Structure 1
């Protein structure tokens, strides 16, 4: 049995349910604990009575230390602040031998046990961003708070309690004194603590910031990847749909314009994901969703606006020395234009 935990509100209901369904498809035995950040999501998940999902209300979860700092954090910053506390809460409340935190905007394609088998008795598992060089943001964190395993033992709880206290003390969306959000704290864990394992398999943590390094294929119906410069293949365990945005005009953006995505990546990952989100959204009554279904608030931007946005981001990267000169002759904006419609594939 793998015990997972995550957090989301009604804007992310479709994503959270898609995550759950993906685990149903690939994990023989799992349970997902969800801390719901608004009443609508708690009520709806409770009404579904899903066999392998336990919704937890925000009121039930929050303690005095979290409530004290809540007014000082933005919504996103407070979610980050809560992450280690959610893992600890689930371990203590439900007497779990271990708990794995997952971001709600992920889909599993193969059994996550493949990743946990790597640990060889260690107590904590963390995953690297594995940035493509052009998108290197290791100054914001070497490791990504997306898939993190903690064992309920001395080493695991030592790390988890330390991280919780640090996030309560400081957790903001800015770089300051070697800190950034909840994730920069992870940078020195392999040195600072005993029992920390850094995931080696590249199939755990495929995301828009590293997908450019891989080629994808199926072997006997198993989705796999291989590095473009090497021959070894690995199962794709999960994809992180960071930056996906839903619009009010039945459109979605796969991710931000900065990231280069080819059509194969969209066909394998993004279009099926968007279709599943749309199907789930059609089953959710309006009373359970905040503002608009799937959190949509704005009309999709024009192609011109997105091009200007991309050029601004590239200029910033060039100024920071993280990107080479812009080569107009080799530029193909199609690989950076990620607006599509749910009705089209």
Structure 2
């Protein structure tokens, strides 16, 4: 079985994408990574770096091979169009894969800390592998956005896995928006449907997989004697999903979205978030800064509702209490 990974990002996420790729190559050097370059700057920079094991796919070339994506592009804002691409990328790579190969989609804002072999072992014999959010008590109300998280999704190149990916691709082209509409939400809640609709789909429950702000308060996190990071009883930390991390002003980062109010422990701050933010800074220095170019299409700008603007000072104070602010 060959491990084939894929991801996509634009130049705004170039530092995160590089951090993810390099951390994955460090713990799984035999895996290959295909990157759908969402802007020309990403393709230009990654071509110059020549990261080992990485194959680049220009967005324009991918769109030519998938003309139905172009039709959907006319109906989507930038963010929603990016969501629309996920299933198409996975399905495209599955069609090129050898029987029993596994194609795994990865979000660009992941960071790997140990070999993902336990995830692949949990999927042995399965056609699709999905990872649940494993909500902590405060975030369980967010189930409307999907039981499973799209940060890591694996499909085997067998009949069921390929058909499930094709179904995901087609559904995303039909409807893929960053809002809840009945039992739909972006590309993510389709995973709930795949889990219920297709046979041979397994939920990967390893506590060290997809540790994110929605579950980071659920399990204890500590340093082992050998320096590795342990989650829960005695599970190696495999990867962290730094979802919602944003630079609110130069040098100041907000470590989670308002929905995830669980406080960060000292080890989460000092051993996960602060080194990750430092790594992003190092990559920016290596690149001479992030490339600057306009996006390929305009995003829709929505002004926050009045109640959100009125509550903003209280939310900022809550973030300070919870330890969500970081300085690079």
TM-score, normalisation: structure 2: 0.87
Is 2:190 aligned against 1:171? Answer: no
Aligned pair partner of 1:269 in 267, 272, 276: 272
Find 1:158's aligned residue among 160, 163, 173.
Answer: 163
Separation in 1, partners of 2:184, 2:309: 30
Q: Secondary structure at the match of 1:273?
A: helix
Show the counterpart of 2:227: 221
Alpha-carbon shift at residue 51 of structure 1 (Å): 1.4
Residues 254/312 of structure 1: CA separation in 2 closer, same or farther (3 Å cut): closer
Distance 2:80 2:290 in 1: 27
In 1, Cα distance between equivalents of 2:155 and 2:279: 30
Q: Could you list the runs of 5+ residues in structure 2 that have no partner in the other structure? A: 295-307
TM-score, length basis structure 1: 0.83
3-state DSSP of counterpart to 1:279: helix
Partner in structure 2 of residue 302 of structure 1: none
Tell me which residue corresponds to 2:286: 283
Calculate the aligned-residue CA RMSD, in Å. 2.3
Q: Which structure 2 residues correspond to residues 191-340 of structure 1 after superposition, within 5 A? A: 191-219=196-224, 220-226=226-232, 232-257=233-258, 258-259=260-261, 260-286=263-289, 288-290=291-293, 308-309=311-312, 311=314, 334-340=320-326
**Aligned pair in 2 of structure 1 residues 132, 164: CA closer, same or farther (>3 Å)?**
same
Which residue does 1:74 correspond to in 2? Answer: 77
Residues 93-102 or 172-181, more deviating: 93-102
Alignment of 1:92 onto 2:109? no
Q: 1:107 aligns with which of 111, 117, 133?
A: 111
Q: Which moved more, 1:28-37 or 1:123-132?
A: 28-37
Q: Deviation per CA, 1:86-122, whole angstroms, max 9, x where unpaired?
A: 1112223465822100100000111012111012311
Q: Could you say which residue in structure 2 is the equivalent of 1:64?
A: 67
Which deviates more from structure 2 when the two are superposed, residues 9-18 or residues 48-57?
A: 48-57
Alpha-carbon distance, 1:248 to partner: 4.3
Superposed displacement of residue 286, structure 1: 4.9
Report SS of the residue matched to 1:126.
strand
Gaps of 5+ in 1: 227-231, 292-304, 314-330
1:121 matches 2:125: yes
1:324 corresponds to: none
Closer, same or farther: CA 28–40 of 1 in aligned 2, 3 Å: closer
Q: Contact between 1:261 and 1:335, CA under 8 Å: does it hold in 2?
A: no
- Cα distance in structure 2, aligned partners of 1:167 and 1:216: 36
**Contact 1:41 1:289 survives alignment (8 Å):** no
Check whether the contact 1:306–1:337 (CA below 8 A) recurs between aligned residues.
Answer: no
1:80 is paired with a residue whose SS is: helix
- SS of 1:4's equivalent in the other structure is strand
Provide the aligned length of Structure 1 versus Structure 2: 307
Between stretches 34-43 and 178-187, larger displacement belongs to 178-187
**C-alpha separation between the residues in 2 aligned to 1:132 and 1:5?**
29
